[in-house]
Amino acid sequence: MSTLDHDAAVERLTNAVRELTATTPLTEHHGHFDIPTAYDLQARVVAHRLEQGHRVIGAKLGLTSEAKQRQMNVEEPLYGWLTSDMRVEPGSPLIVNQFIQPRVEAEIAFLIGDDLEGDDIGAADVLAATAAVMPAIDVLDSRYAGYSFTLPDVIADNSSSAGFVTGSVLVDPTGIDLRLCGVVLEVNGQVMATAAGAAVLGHPAASVAWLVRALARRGEGLEAGMTVLSGACTAAFAVSPGDTVVARIDRLGTVEVPCR
Amino acid sequence: MTRPATADIAEMSTALLNARRDRVPIPPLTDRFPDMTADDAYAVQQGLVASLLADGDSIIGYKLGLTSRPMQEMLGVDQPDYAPVLGSTVYANGGTVPSDLYIAPRMEAEICVILDAPLSGPHCTAAEAWEATRGLVAALEIVDSRIEDWKIKLPDTVADLASNGAVAFGSQVVPLGDFDPALLGMVFTRNGDLVATGAGAAALGGPLDAVAWLANTLHHLGVTLPAGAIVMTGALHAAVPFSRGDVFRADFDRLGPITLRVS
């Protein structure tokens, strides 16, 4: 039997955020726990941010590529919640020392136009309910040293959610095949990685549809106005003060953030 | 003396010619000549190409290799390499590739640039390459190594036609226009399963940067890229080994798909 102490586990993660100090995986202290329990812990970690006056403004997906799923020995992606304190406004810098070990990824972001919920939602439903798509930079920050964790650990850690920047031009996805759109991640003018939208579960909208179905299991959904980061198209890269990170996505435009 | 003499260079060209013909790989050239330079290797390549042309082959353009940073880091170089593409090695879109024609083949999807006007260095820019371009074509390259087990250092692959095996082109030439070739997306599947994705920037920052690099590099040899030449600008992803029965499809945004099957 698991001897998981929920309070202690949540405190370990919230302390790591407050003290900007990496911790060790919960599973090392509390033994293995299952995925639904991991999402229970995640809900409490997110609630802790809300108690500090922040709002939930969206969600993000992780482990959306087959390569990463194989690496973690799982067959599903995972998700976390984005809160208002995680948003970096266009033109503002990413303050590196507000994170423990930040890494950046290029993603396609969806601005949800109509509430989306249900266990039968597909990619076409997502596209129909999407107000706009944008290029995005996802800023990960695992609260576990060296990004070393098991699947329940990372889910409890809100799927490493820490920050994000979206492009400031809203693009109507009608008539755009997001599957084929080219994605380029540059750091300081160097091409770090390239991809196409299909890198995310075959299609970024399929990834968002998976999220909606996963949320339905917990009686939750996406609300109009939320931003969803559909999953990394590229590998993640560590950033340092002075770096400039640029994500360029064909047909969607460019998003850029300087690191201070 | 670990650099090759003129006679050694001719001997290596012949050894590679035989390896291509017999489909029997040879040990790395750099095992015997550890200090062999890139210039030595291009001399071997030229000897090999001269023999192939004497046998009735033709040059239809060029391919670039080692165009991505991961590949350059793997071989410890900071430059790509190039080799002529031979007229005898072109497959039709939808065609069938007999796998026993090759030694250790791998498949790559890339953007091919077709020139409309001659292009030469030494100061060619991506903007000039744009001006000289007729259009872009979806392409696949079969890379193969006549060196045992792909144990290549830079001079080995340069001498061996930059590891070129064969090429295939999509069915439409798409003029440049209101899009950035560096952002062109590509989705690569084998037997319907996604194996890789990429975008034009993966090869030297973009297809036209790749063409400019080639024009400048060929200038040192007194060569001008002729109108109508094709340039295979470099893989957009890590090369994929294949076996009999595989069907490869590269789907390019704006350029359309290209398919090859392996028998």
- Residues of A within 8 A of B179 (CB-CB) are 250
pLDDT value at residue A1:
43
CATH class of B60-262: alpha beta
Beta bridge partners, B251, equal B187, B257
Residue B201 to residue A191, Cβ atoms within 8 A: yes
Residue B194 to residue A198, Cβ atoms within 8 A: yes
List of long-range contacts for A66-71, beta carbons under 8 Å, 24+ apart: A66/B194, A68/A232
Mean pLDDT of B201-225: 96
Mean pLDDT over each residue of chain B, to the nearest integer: 96
- Residues of A within 8 A of B198 (CB-CB) are 182, 194-196
Q: Which residues contact B146 (CB under 8 A, 6 or more apart)?
A: B16, B19, B20, B25, B26, B103, B160
Locus of tokens 């007999």 = B98
pLDDT digits (tens, 9 = 90+) for B50-102: 999 999 999 999 999 999 888 898 888 989 999 999 999 999 999 999 999 99
- Residues of B within 8 A of A184 (CB-CB) are 182-183, 199, 201
Which residue ranges in chain A fall short of pLDDT 50? 1
Nearest CA in chain A to B252: A180
Q: Does A187 touch chain B (CB under 8 A)?
A: no
Minimal CA separation from B185 to chain A, in Å: 3
- What is the spatial distance between Cα A125 and Cα B102, in angstroms, rounded to a whole number? 47
Residue A191 to residue B251, Cβ atoms within 8 A: no
- Residues of A within 8 A of B185 (CB-CB) are 180-183, 195-197, 250
Please check whether residue A69 is in contact with residue A63, taking contact to mean a CB–CB distance below 8 angstroms.
yes
Residue B197 to residue A198, Cβ atoms within 8 A: yes
- H/E element holding A193? strand A190-196
Write the DSSP assignment of chain B as a string of letters.
--SPPHHHHHHHHHHHHHHHHHT--B--HHHH-TT--HHHHHHHHHHHHHHHHHTT--EEEEEEES-SHHHHHHHT-SS-EEEEEEGGGEEPTT-EE-GGG-SS-EEEEEEEEEESS-B--SS--HHHHHHTEEEEEEEEEEE--SBGGG---HHHHHHTGGGEEEEEE-S-PBPP-SS-GGG-EEEEEETTEEEEEEEGGGTTTSHHHHHHHHHHHHHTTT--BPTT-EEEEEESS--EE--TT-EEEEEETTTEEEEEEE-
Q: Angle CA(A200)–CA(A204)–CA(A208) in degrees, nearest 5?
A: 110
Question: Domain boundaries in chain B?
Answer: 60-262
Residue B185 to residue A182, Cβ atoms within 8 A: yes
Residue A198 to residue B187, Cβ atoms within 8 A: yes
- What is the spatial distance between Cα A236 and Cα A232, in angstroms, rounded to a whole number? 8
Q: Does B258 touch chain A (CB under 8 A)?
A: no
Minimal CA separation from A182 to chain B, in Å: 3
Share of chain B above pLDDT 90, in %: 94
Residues recorded for chain B: 263
Q: In CATH, what number does A6-258 get?
A: 3.90.850.10
A-to-B residue pairs, Cβ atoms closer than 8 angstroms: 72
Enumerate residues 228 to 247 of chain A having a beta carbon within 8 A of any beta carbon in chain B. Answer: 233
Given CA atoms B64, B250, B202, A171 in this order, what sign does their dihedral have?
positive
Given CA atoms B212, B255, A66, A115 in this order, what sign does their dihedral have?
positive
Q: Does B236 touch chain A (CB under 8 A)?
A: yes
Question: Domain boundaries in chain A?
Answer: 6-258
pLDDT digits (tens, 9 = 90+) for B229-246: 999 999 999 999 999 999
Most B CBs within 10 Å, among A66, A194, A207, to test the B interface: A194
Q: Can you tell me the ipTM of this complex?
A: 0.93
Give the predicted TM-score (pTM) of the model.
0.95
Residue B187 to residue A194, Cβ atoms within 8 A: no
> Is pLDDT above 70 for B177?
yes
Residue B199 to residue A195, Cβ atoms within 8 A: yes
Q: Which residues contact B175 (CB under 8 A, 6 or more apart)?
A: B134, B135
pLDDT digits (tens, 9 = 90+) for A17-33: 999 999 999 999 989 99
Q: Does B205 touch chain A (CB under 8 A)?
A: yes
pLDDT value at residue B1:
60
pLDDT digits (tens, 9 = 90+) for A127-171: 999 999 999 999 999 999 999 999 999 999 999 999 999 999 999
Tell me whether the omega of the peptide bond preceding residue A258 falls within 30 degrees of 0, making it cis: no
Q: Which residues contact B11 (CB under 8 A, 6 or more apart)?
A: none
